[in-house]
Structure 1
Amino acid sequence: MIKAGIIGGSGYTGGELIRILLNHPAIEIDFVFSTTKAGKPIASAHPDLLGQTELHFTKNINSSVDVVFLCLGHGNSSRFLLNHQFSDGTKIIDLSNDFRLQNDATFQGNTFVYGLPELNKDAIENANAIANPGCFATAIQLALLPLAKKGLLHNEVHINAVTGSTGAGIKPSETTHFSWRNNNISWYKPFTHQHLGEIGESLYSFGNELGKLYFLPQRGNFSRGIFATAYTHFNGSQKEAQKLYTKYYRNAKFTHVSQEPIHLKQVINTNNCHIHVHKHEDVLLISSAIDNLLKGASGQAVQNMNLIFGLEEDLGLRLKASTF
């Protein structure tokens, strides 16, 4: 069994990771580190796990685990690694944004590989450290990668994506509590969202010209999921666009191109991304949908772990959607 440690297990991504790993046939959770809940049962933070595990949160780490997942707030992963050493054989999978950009990817002798399997699968399989992509970044990149590879993103790209309240983390704020969020919608960080950096680096990685990205993120009045739409100039036909996307994702385990328009419930509680393309005059509209806590965070982290250890890519991730 592969021994795993989790740093920061009391939040949304940590909780999802615990749920997946408890049911993963090749993994044993060695410890779940938390400074705020040390000594308390896992079920004290995640009541749905009552009776599912006897694990308690701890403030101690086992530095020789096979893999450690960092489920910490942005900026905290690098600080944690500065103060806690793991063995040379420990694989590190970070779910924050600390190491996603190329300028930040080298840290303490490790080079963090950007963990988007649909882009970097070969590199992930040989990695010692992974920078797990952001949730918006995952949905948007998967919508645009086939066009980027073919050099078809040289015009402006307009992107709109709406996310559930879990995307803001477990700590309550003015815009996440029920009374504000319910029956409401709003935009935030217009055209300046922090995920634009990693999106741009991935799209540029094919060496083709890239037009300006205009990204408008929105807060939705639901708990989980991201529904993204992007549109740009496209000279080809609907059939050509469908063929382009189907070919690019033909070997992707979790990204699927639909012939019919998609909706968010298709992917909730799964590690899937569903994509649809629609041609209107000279514009191509691409829609993508993911669960922000799974394909956008913990599920993709486990997908990366499976690839690193030579396991089946979907092991422990054959999850059921909640469509009604």
Structure 2
Amino acid sequence: MKKLKIGIIGGSGYTAGELLRLLVNHPNAELDFVFSTTNAGKPLDVAHPDLIGDTTLLFTDKINPEVDVLFLCLGHGRSRAFLEANEFSASTKVIDLGNDFRLLADKEFKGRDFVYGLPELNKQAIINAKNIANPGCFATAIQLALLPLANANVINEAVHVNATTGSTGAGVSPSATTHFSWRDNNFSSYKVFSHQHLGEINQSAKQLQSTHNQPIFFIPNRGNFSRGIYATVYTKFDGTLDDAVELYQEFYKDAAFTVISKTPIALKQVVNTNKCILHVDVKDGMVLVTSLIDNLIKGASGQAIHNMNLMFGLDEKTGLNLKSSAF
């Protein structure tokens, strides 16, 4: 097939940088334009030094409304305004990496119907979709820990989540809690029990377990590392360890990137990959699931490309055969 012409809106952040790194090496993709009003006319490697020698493309403040795929890498709440102000071809497929269209109440906009793009949950719908709402990073890690339980209708008590993300999860713009002297040798929580990703997590759990009405108590933490999410999720469970492992292995038996480890896991196993690695344990009537992802790849740009591959009939792993660094 001919190469897909790609447009990217909001090209200077961490998420866009990872998207560009993956797309310049994707055999079926061709970058058409990268839109950035602040960097228009400058080489991409001005914002993303790792791209030096990989592309000669310049940032632009103009769009091509006829691209095959449009990736929106804008701040949360800004995708809707951009699509309101700019028209694209009816054949252009939109993948939004923000949170504007993730909830069912927001999925329809200007004739576009957005499908929630978690491949392990909505693969067939993604294959047939014209527009995708890419999941949030914390939401991805936590949902993949919970979906097999919801599918088995066994989330019958409160769910407790403790998850830590790297500094890139806060975006490229410096802030009081991201600069080195604050973040280094430090650890803190934020948005306790009120994180914005809880809406999509509950929505997906209810999609599989219609009776789901249990609270999910989520404590998000800031870690003193650059990238990755380490999440632990636990709730009451009546079965054995073998029962729990079987639930997870069966649910993810056809998943391209989500795997179950029989041994305890560590964050470096997923950094720089599109994998989610899960470890399941059962103790004292509780199931404990550890879920690891790279927040910028599986939690954002890699998952967006996974969705693109599905939408255009490509092998799911195209452009995403990435290896982690174990040391």
In the superposition, the TM-score normalised over structure 2's length comes to 0.98
Question: How big is the shift at 1:209?
Answer: 2.7
Gaps of 5+ in 1: none
What are the residue-to-residue correspondences of 1:136-147 with 2, within 5 Å?
A: 136-147=138-149
- Mapped to 2, the partners of 1:259 and 1:210 lie a distance apart of 30
- Alpha-carbon distance between aligned partners in 2 of 1:109 and 1:297, rounded to the nearest angstrom: 25
2:321 counterpart of 1:318: yes
2:275 to 265, 272, 277: 272
Deviation at 1:51, TM superposition (A): 1.1
**How do 1:74-113 and structure 2 match up within 5 A?**
74-113=76-115
Gaps (5+ residues) in structure 2?
none
**Distance in 2 separating the partners of 1:299 and 1:150:** 28
- CA offset at residue 147 of structure 1? 0.1
Q: Distance in 2 between matches of 1:36 and 1:77?
A: 17
Q: Which amino acid aligns with 1:254?
A: F
Tell me the secondary structure at the aligned position of residue 296 of structure 1: helix
Q: 1:258 aligns with which of 250, 258, 261?
A: 261
Alignment partner of 1:236 is 2:217: no
Alpha-carbon shift at residue 232 of structure 1 (Å) = 0.4
Tell me, in whole angstroms, the C-alpha distance in 1 between the residues paired with 2:52 and 2:269: 28
The alignment status of 1:155 with 2:157, answered yes or no, reads yes
The aligned counterpart of 2:289 is 286
CA distance in 1 between counterparts of 2:138 and 2:53 reads 34
- Distance apart, 1:211 and its partner CA: 1.4
Q: Separation in 2 of the partners of 1:323 and 1:57?
A: 34
Show the 5 A alignment for 1:190-269. Answer: 190-206=192-208, 207-269=210-272
* Equivalent residue letter for 2:22: I
Matched residue type, 2:289: I
Give yes or no for contact 1:190–1:217 (8 Å, CA) kept in 2.
Answer: yes
Question: Which residue of structure 2 aligns with residue 295 of structure 1?
Answer: 298
* SS of the residue 2:322 aligns to: coil
Task: Report the residue type matching 1:47 in the other structure.
Answer: P
Partner in structure 2 of residue 5 of structure 1: 7
- 2:168 is matched with 166
The code of the aligned residue for 1:16 comes to E
Alpha-carbon offset, residue 191 of structure 1:
0.1
Match of 1:177 in 2: 179
Residues of 1 paired with 2:37 and 2:155: CA distance? 45
2:135 is the alignment partner of 1:133: yes
Q: 3-state SS of the aligned residue for 1:158?
A: strand
Task: Report deviation, 1:45.
Answer: 0.4
Residue type of the partner of 2:59?
A: F
2:307 aligns with 304
Contact kept, 8 Å, 2:97 with 2:134, in 1: the verdict is: yes
Match of 2:70, SS state, is strand
Cα distance in 1 between the residues matched to 2:68 and 2:254? 28
Query: Residue 32 of structure 1 corresponds to which residue in structure 2?
Result: 34
**Contact (CA 8 Å) 1:149, 1:208: kept in 2 or not?**
no
- Retained in 2: the 8 A contact 1:110–1:129? yes
Once residues 55 and 211 of structure 2 are traced to their aligned partners in structure 1, the CA distance between those partners, rounded to angstroms, is 49
Q: Distance in 1 between matches of 2:67 and 2:256?
A: 27
- Give the TM-score of the pair, scaled to structure 1: 0.99
Task: State whether residues 148 and 210 of structure 1, in contact with CA within 8 Å, keep that contact through their aligned partners in structure 2.
Answer: no
The Cα shift of 1:85 comes to: 0.6
CA contact (8 A) 2:205 2:212 kept: no
Alpha-carbon separation, structure 2, partners of 1:323 and 1:61: 40
- Number of equivalent positions: 324
- For 2:53 and 2:215, locate their aligned partners in 1 and report how far apart those are by CA, in whole Å: 51
Which 4+ residue blocks in structure 1 deviate beyond 4 angstroms? none
Q: Secondary structure at the match of 1:138?
A: helix
CA-to-aligned-CA distance 1:135-180 (integer Å, 9 cap, x gap): 0000000000000011111101000000000000000000000000
